[in-house]
Amino acid sequence: MAYPRTPELDAAARRSCVVTHNTVQGIEVTTLIAYAVSCGIDGLGVREALDAAVAHIRATAVQGYWSAKASVLERTQWILDETRRHAYDDESFAALLRKVCGTSVEANESVPAAFAIANRFADDPFRALCFAASLGGDTDTIAAMAGAVIGACLGVEAFDADHLATLRAVNGLELEPVAEGLLAIRQRRERGVR
């Protein structure tokens, strides 16, 4: 079961997008990632969470101001369909993302790329992150979004303990308190507590 949507929650999410993401595409990108992560937390697998996020956006009324940029939803659906229909080796897959999907800071490129990477490497999170990091373009954001979805679906156990230890040591990151805090906020919202 995906994160329950209510009119109040949708209104709160919309208000949080107004400052930086108040276009149709901006709201689509934030909702795609957030919904896929939420579905992962609820127990869906990576590919199921990606599909659920796309279906949710498709079923939701268009929000935000019109922009001349391509639809994030349609680009995401297209790249998922394309990469599921045809077998690409890693080099061809990377070329498709760079040349057709795009890997720039534009959200209508980076989010579809992140979804395609999460879909392709759903069972190999470390390889997904390495692939995203070496792709070119907005690699840190693409890897972060793909990693967030995969991590939410598979849990921290899916990542090699030595790699996590290195990440913590090199970057001085304490990710567990942040993750626990975000989950606590989510649980309070589920119980209707603000």
pLDDT digits (tens, 9 = 90+) for 18-66: 655 677 888 888 889 999 999 999 999 999 999 999 999 999 877 777 7
According to the annotation, is 42 in a ligand binding site? no
Say what the pTM is.
Answer: 0.86
The structural domains of the chain, with segments of one domain joined by +, span 7-159
Please, which pLDDT band fits residue 17 given cuts at 50, 70 and 90?
Answer: low
- Tens digits of residue pLDDT in 63-77: 777 777 888 999 999
Q: Which residue has the higher pLDDT, 178 or 36?
A: 36
- Tens digits of residue pLDDT in 104-142: 999 899 999 999 999 999 999 999 999 999 999 999 999
Rounded distance between C-alpha atoms, residue 17 and residue 76, angstroms:
20
As a CATH number, domain 7-159 is: 1.10.4080.10
What's residue 134's pLDDT? Answer: 95
What's residue 1's pLDDT? Answer: 43
According to the annotation, is 138 in a ligand binding site? yes
- Concatenate the DSSP letters of all residues of 121-186 into one string: TTT-HHHHHHHHHHSSSSHHHHHHHHHHHHHHHH-GGGS-HHHHHHHHHHHT--HHHHHHHHHHHH
According to the annotation, is 162 in a ligand binding site? no
